[in-house]
Amino acid sequence: MARWSAIIVPVVLAISVPLLPRHSAHAEKDPLELTAQGVISENVRTEYASEIDDCYHEAGQSARGPRFLDCIRRHARSQEDALAAVFDARMSYLEASPELAAALQHSQTTWVQFREANCAYIRAIARPSYADEAFQNCVLRTTIYRRVHLRWSVGD
């Protein structure tokens, strides 16, 4: 029983903590929410929680197994497609400024390399039975962050 607790508790915490609502006792805005980075972080947290919740329910209220993994993969691919669309729109917006467009292109290429290396590390440190879920979860979370951040960082 202790062995199962050692496995289940971290998985439940990893999935449920991002899903916890953030409420202020006085219904005041968190100062972080008043900054652009705070808004970005809150948007990412909300969207990520929604995606994970969808997969959790689709997999029969389980945060493990092939159904959960397939769902996370689908959501990660969908987020990658959305990121590509935002990136393309931002590159079009920057057409008149080749230096900025080149900087964005370099940033995106470097970010993809970072995401792959970072998520590979997450997979390597995860329990072998959860490594694929950990990797896809990392890809999903970081891709959402990049898309939201890129959306906010370059003109509308």
Between the alpha carbon of residue 134 and those of residues 19, 62, 143, the distances in Å are 17, 14, 14
- Residue range(s) defining the domain that contains residue 73: 45-153
Distance in angstroms (rounded) separating the CA atoms of residues 148 and 146:
6
pLDDT-based confidence at 20, cuts 50/70/90? Answer: very low
Q: DSSP string spanning 76-102? A: HHHHHHHHHHHHHHHHHHTTT-HHHHH
Task: Give the whole-angstrom CA distance, residue 58 versus residue 71.
Answer: 8
Q: Residue 83: what are its φ and ψ, rounded to 5°?
A: -60, -45
Tokens of 100: 């900025």
Q: Structure tokens of 102?
A: 């080149």
The CATH number for 99's domain is 1.20.1270.180
| Residue 54, amino acid | D
Q: What is the mean pLDDT of the chain?
A: 81
Q: Is 70 contained in some domain?
A: yes
Domain-embedded: residue 10: no
Q: For 87-101, write each residue's pLDDT tens digit.
A: 999 999 999 999 999
* Residue 40: inside a domain: no
Task: Look at residue 7 and tell me whether its pLDDT is greater than 80.
Answer: no
Instruction: Please state whether the predicted TM-score (pTM) of the whole model is above 0.85.
Output: no
Domain total of the chain: 1
